[in-house]
Homo-oligomer: A and B are copies of this chain.
């Protein structure tokens, strides 16, 4: 695909003020009754979505990307726990005048998707949860150590360490993803600050260590769970646990892939996600 063909890389950043905090977001796509709101991973900003995925989803619906509190160009102080992050995201969704939406939550965003569906079930029609885990997942107990290992690497290897497997094929595909994140030249989002990162490390770790408060069996929405074969950060088996706990969930595992499962197979993911959002009940 020609770089110029992506709409996502040129859509302007907008701002909305909620409770005296200015939130950055981007909206694109075909106006639709039910938009999909996208919530990002640890350290992720508006620049961390694969244009193939965002444009692919936007062909069939409105796609809204949000920088949560204190992240990227959004103001405020990033909470140190998923529940408060979820309440913030719900406030932004309300402020945008959305009465019902779907959620695409990646990694930390997939934790928020679970907590938001628990907090406000009527607000969310369907959920897509990529590379995530249920509360109490043991893999997250060592999240700070994994971050420390990753942060010791130079930026490209850091990205590959988390999102790719060791195979050449996986590394090549995730390198392509990484390159696509830099197609956008103008009006780029700020990187996550050290304060935001520190708070997110706490939130991610606590998702694994704090008491379990969400009853996943009460999430009655259709849920699509996507994961790679070798996600060390979340432990790939965590997605099977999610699938077994949520009554109306589809689980899809991609081959030879790590935390960046849907980044590695973006066209396949777009087909599966659009099919799920358009037709699955």
Distance in angstroms between the alpha carbons of A253 and B249 in the assembled complex:
8
Say yes or no: A244 contacts B229, CB within 8 Å. Answer: yes
What are 28 A-B pairs at a CB distance below 8 A?
A229-B243, A229-B244, A240-B240, A243-B253, A247-B255, A247-B256, A248-B255, A248-B256, A249-B255, A250-B252, A250-B253, A250-B254, A250-B255, A250-B268, A251-B251, A251-B252, A251-B253, A252-B252, A252-B253, A267-B279, A268-B275, A268-B279, A268-B280, A271-B271, A271-B275, A271-B279, A272-B272, A272-B275
Copies of this chain in the oligomer? 2
Q: Mark A199-242, 1 if CB is under 8 A from B, else 0.
A: 00000000000000000000000000000010000000000100
What total of chain A residues lie within 8 Å of the partner, measured CB to CB? 21
Nearest B residue to A246 via CB reads B255
Q: Other than A248-B256, A250-B255, A252-B252, give 4 A-B pairs with Cβ distance below 8 A.
A: A229-B243, A240-B240, A271-B275, A272-B275
Q: Determine the chain B residues whose CB is within 8 A of the CB of A279 once the complex forms.
A: 267-268, 271
Q: Determine the chain B residues whose CB is within 8 A of the CB of A250 once the complex forms.
A: 252-255, 268
